[in-house]
Amino acid sequence: MIENAELYQSIIMDRTKNPRHAGRPEVFDAQAHGDNPLCGDRIHLFLRRDGTAVSYEARGCAIMTASADLMADAVAGLSAVEVAQRRTAFEAVVNTGTPDPSLGDLNALSGVSEYRSRIRCATLPWSALAAAFEDCKHG
């Protein structure tokens, strides 16, 4: 095993290879698109059941894909306000590298703080999620 590869720990590789929430649902309430022009990462998010269930179609790196999948777990059943709070807490974790006990598996991405150019990969699904909630409001 490679040294200093903490970022690519088993939770992340597992979510990348075996995503739980990938795929376009037949019925959804809202959707939003996110992309990172620097690397071509793309994600399309779908909100179901009044925004309490998230699924996505993603094309991108392991960090972005795992982040999307973990996010879908972490926001299940939450209100829009609670989701916004989680997003703030998550962004603090990936920027500072300090895990937040309330975030559970999302802390697997805390190592991204050491890779400045990759923080955006981890936060992209969350920006798309915020946009999807906007779509919800207007839709």
Q: Rounded to the nearest whole angstrom, what is the least distance from the CB of residue 51 to other proteins in the complex?
A: 29
Q: How far apart are the C-alpha atoms of 125 and 45, rounded to whole Å?
A: 8
Q: In whole angstroms, how close is the CB of 73 to other proteins at the nearest point?
A: 21
**Total chain residues near other proteins (CB under 8 A):** 22
First to last CA, the chain: 48
Query: How is residue 64 written in tokens?
Result: 């972005």
For residues 72 and 54, the answer to whether their CB atoms sit within 8 Å is yes
Q: Does 132 bind other proteins (CB under 8 A)?
A: no
Closest to other proteins by CB, 40 or 139: 40
- Considering only residues 45 through 64, tell me which ones interact with other proteins, judged by CB under 8 A: 59-63
List 14, 22, 29, 39, residue binding other proteins (CB under 8 A): 39
C-alpha 31/C-alpha 47 separation (Å) is: 6
Phi and psi dihedrals of 76, rounded to 5?
A: -60, 125
The residues binding other proteins (CB under 8 A) are 1-5, 7-8, 13, 17, 38-42, 59-63, 115, 118, 121
